Every structure is written in C-alpha cells, then in structure tokens.
Amino acid sequence: MATIARRLGFPEPTNFGRFFTRHAGVTPGAFRLAHQGR
C-alpha cells in the first residue's frame, strides 16, 4: 500500500488508507480480501 500511496502523491500510507476508506466504504485490507481471486 505504501508504494501505491506514494505513486498517487500521498505523503503517508495512512493518508491514503483514510482516503480509500472514505471513498470505498471499506478499508484497503477488507477490499483486498473481498476481491482476491477475481
């Protein structure tokens, strides 16, 4: 997640995590688990 956060211009991975959770309605980890194997 840190690599993705940096590539998107977030100063810290936690900033990206909060942004993702607000917009997706789930944490990045929960999203990953729900979409594994697709």
Block means of pLDDT (10 residues each) for the chain, 38 residues, are 95 97 97 91
Per-residue pLDDT, 38: 75
Q: Say how many domains are in the chain.
A: 1
Could you give the 3-state DSSP secondary structure of residue 26? coil
Closest CA to 2 of 11, 13, 10: 13
Q: Given this model, what pLDDT does residue 12 score?
A: 96
Domain of residue 26 covers 2-34
Predicted local confidence at residue 34, as pLDDT: 96
Number of other residues whose CB lies within 10 A of the CB of residue 24 = 11
Write down the pLDDT at residue 37.
84
